Each structure stands twice: as C-alpha cells, then as structure tokens.
Amino acid sequence: AQSVSQHNHHVILSEAASLELGCNYSYGGTVNLFWYVQYPGQHLQLLLKYFSGDPLVKGIKGFEAEFIKSKFSFNLRKPSVQWSDTAEYFCAVQLGGSYIPTFGRGTSLIVHP
C-alpha cells in the first residue's frame, strides 16, 4: 500500500526564516501531488498541486514545492515565513489511476513574530 511520510512533525521558526517541509511517498508510478494547509480554526485548503510538467510548482502565499521523482519527494518551501504562516501542513499523494488522495500525518508549523 502507498504511504506518505512527513518527517518533520513540529517546526518552530522565527519570522523571515526559510522553510522546508519534507514529504516522501512510497510508489514508483505516476503520481499527483498536493500540499494542503489548515490555519487555526479553519478548514483544510489547497496550497499547491503537481500533476505534470515543470517539477517546480508555485502556490499561494509565496509557497513552492519541487517534485524530485528520483527521490520520491515533494518538499514544500518558502524563502521567508511570516507569523500568519502558522498552521498545519499536509502532503497528499494520489496514485495514477486512483481517485483517492492519501495524506501524510501533517507538520505543525509555528512562526514566532
């Protein structure tokens, strides 16, 4: 069965620090990749997605992620975080031919002002 690993469960940063959250999956075929974010008290919402083409995808609020097929990874990055980026971040993988995204356990990000 496919699995999605987010190795950083809790990350604490100061404003203006750079962010990289790891996401690895265990499947060698075609995948669609997503990052979702859940701000405090709000619902899960899509941050960015990769289906095909340029492996560097840009999302909302200055976030980007890079798909590295050889490493089975889809890490999320932001050059300079803000206090408002405090949230839970979930990586999700959808196998080629499947309609169901599988989620990682999430990373809690706290940004200190």
Partner 1 sequence: EAGVAQSPRYKIIEKRQSVAFWCNPISGHATLYWYQQILGQGPKLLIQFQNNGVVDDSQLPKDRFSAERLKGVDSTLKIQPAKLEDSAVYLCASSIQLGQNSPLHFGNGTRLTVT
d(Cα 7, Cα 74) in Å, to the nearest integer?
Answer: 12
For partner 1, the closer of residues 16 and 110 by Cβ is: 110
**Which residue ranges make up the site for partner 1 (CB under 8 A)?**
4, 6, 32, 34, 36, 42-46, 49, 51, 90, 92, 94, 96, 99-106
CB 35 within 8 A of CB 47: yes
C-alpha distance from residue 70 to each of 7, 55, 80, 106, 112 (Å): 18, 12, 27, 23, 35
What's the alpha-carbon Rg for the chain, to the nearest Å?
13
Q: Minimum distance between the CB of residue 80 and partner 1, rounded to whole angstroms?
A: 26
Q: Minimum distance between the CB of residue 49 and partner 1, rounded to whole angstroms?
A: 6
Q: Minimum distance between the CB of residue 66 and partner 1, rounded to whole angstroms?
A: 19
Q: Minimum distance between the CB of residue 104 and partner 1, rounded to whole angstroms?
A: 5
d(Cα 57, Cα 51) in Å, to the nearest integer?
Answer: 10
